[in-house]
Amino acid sequence: MAALTLSELKKRAGRIESLVRLFSEGHLFEMEKDAFGKVSNKKFKISGIILTKSKTSWQEFNLSDVKSPSQRKNLIQKIRNHVGTLQYNGYYQGSREEVEVNSSYMKKSSEFGGGGAVKKAGGGGGSESMGIRAETMILGGKLEKVKFAGQSVECRTFTSSEQLIDSIIDGLNTNTKVPKYIVEDFNKYKKSKKYDTFEWNESIPDNEMNQLGKYAGEVITGVVGMKTSFRSALSPNILKTNQVAKFCVPTDPAFTGVDVFFLMKDGDVVPVSNKYGKGAAASFFANVLPKAMKSKLKPSPLKDFVKVAEQFATAEKMEGRGAPSKEILYEYGCRNLLKIPKSKLPEPYKEVYEAIRAGKKTPGTRLVLAAIEKYSGVDAVVLKNLPNSVTAFFCREVAKTMNKSKPAIDDLKEILAGKNYFQANLHINDWFAGKVNYKIVNSGDVKVEIIGSKAPTTDITAKQGLINYFMTLP
């Protein structure tokens, strides 16, 4: 196992925060070596953290220096900015002799994102390390059907901010992957009754803050929205001073309208789609194409793409898994982008995609590769990685073509915006600073951008995704 050197501490978000928090709690750290540099399984309790710049310039931080959140934040920042060596004073398990050891003697155990035996405390980890979802935080709501846009939608409903906060806390508390300090922070949030402010534990790493923003942020719109005194967190305040009857979170996976909606006491409905920051790129094939196939479109590359899609599937089939996305992509790419007629290449997917995937060179692959090499504006990285970049080429060029077409973008905006809803974007920097702040924009004002860069130029199968889109704020 790798040692937890200063450079390793800085390498992953949350490691320094975890070190300081665990130090302040009197934690026993797993070690790779003893005070003499020999292999040892004995655990070590730090009594002081020493930042050394030179033989005559060093600074030691003891337990008295990490009692308060502000003190811990100060030490975290000093370690993050430190250029030099890092040592620890402390005691090996079973010994009363205080010794000084190099930071490299400590193991990169599980609380720091390694594979040690210590139970993970939340440091490091991946983008979904806690396994939380919005649906696990709303189980405390009443399960009922609510009328929305002329249909009966199954929802979890809440009538107060307190009810929703309790549900969020229960969802976090029952998830064994969520560190206790996060549950404690939400309990403090509840007790404070300041629903636009969090007092975050300074040891929460970035990846956990992002997960909380992404999933808890989706329902905290209800917490601030149901309290008129905290609606300044919605900018602008789309609820004004009106009273909320119910905050509703749809639970039916087939419902793709909005993430949440407010049912007002005057009968009005305020639908909201939540995004954390810019939000994640969504699938063009799953979310846009089926709706486009049911829509009346202006002449544009989007309409041309729909015509190709209709040769392979219905809108209903495109909404499900197993839809022929690559068949459509290759047909459109070869016919509409590369202008290769059916007489020369009858089945692009079979003769090109499947052949390249199997490592075969065929007349079809040679024809397509030659056309790509001559294509105007092709990305250099695509040319470099041919033939494995053919799928990525089609994805990138479809995106470029759509984005350049005003009729296509206008139709996409109408398809994605629907009749009317609000997009709430949780401000990331404010979230990290403990402030709940949503920028609200009407769906008709949202900008749509098609992207094709998720498909790697080195992978013909494009397992990471084909064509996607972002809805961004103006």
Tell me the per-residue pLDDT of 131-153, one tens digit each, with 9 for 90 and over: 898 899 999 999 999 988 778 88
Backbone dihedral region for residue 359 (phi beyond 0: left; psi -120 to 50: alpha; all else: beta): left
Domains: count for the chain: 3
Q: Do 407 and 298 belong together in one domain?
A: yes
Q: Among 42-51, 237-246, 413-422, whose mean pLDDT is lowest?
A: 413-422
Q: Among 164-173, 275-284, 400-409, 453-462, whose mean pLDDT is lowest?
A: 275-284
Whole-number pLDDT of residue 296: 93
The HSE-up count of residue 14 (CA atoms within 13 Å, CB side) is 25
Q: Do 216 and 342 belong together in one domain?
A: no
Residue 317 falls inside a structural domain: yes
d(CA 435, CA 443): 24
Q: Do 175 and 234 belong together in one domain?
A: yes
Q: Do 176 and 262 belong together in one domain?
A: yes
For residue 147, give the H/E element and its range. strand 142-148
What is the distance in angstroms between the CA of the first residue and the CA of the last residue of the chain?
48
Whole-number pLDDT of residue 467: 93
Q: What is the mean pLDDT of the chain?
A: 88
pLDDT band at 321 (very low <50, low <70, confident <90, very high): low
Tell me the per-residue pLDDT of 78-127, one tens digit each, with 9 for 90 and over: 999 999 999 999 999 888 888 999 999 998 876 675 543 333 333 344 56
Tell me the per-residue pLDDT of 180-232, one tens digit each, with 9 for 90 and over: 889 999 999 999 999 999 998 876 877 888 899 999 999 999 999 999 999 99
Q: Do 155 and 179 belong together in one domain?
A: yes
Q: Do 191 and 309 belong together in one domain?
A: no
Contacts of 169 (CB under 8 A, 6+ apart): 183, 186, 187, 190
Q: Do 374 and 428 belong together in one domain?
A: yes
Q: Do 421 and 465 belong together in one domain?
A: yes
Tell me the per-residue pLDDT of 151-186, one tens digit each, with 9 for 90 and over: 888 999 999 999 999 999 999 999 999 988 899 999
d(CA 84, CA 366): 56
Q: Do 303 and 444 belong together in one domain?
A: yes
226, 257, 276 - which closes a domain: 276
Residue 101 falls inside a structural domain: yes
Whole-number pLDDT of residue 124: 41
Domain containing 30 equals 6-112
Residue 120 falls inside a structural domain: no
Which residues in 429-450 are b (16+ Cβ under 10 Å) and which e?
ebbeeeebbbebbebeebebeb
Residue 10 falls inside a structural domain: yes
Identify which has the larger pLDDT, 65 or 205.
65
Residue 204 falls inside a structural domain: yes
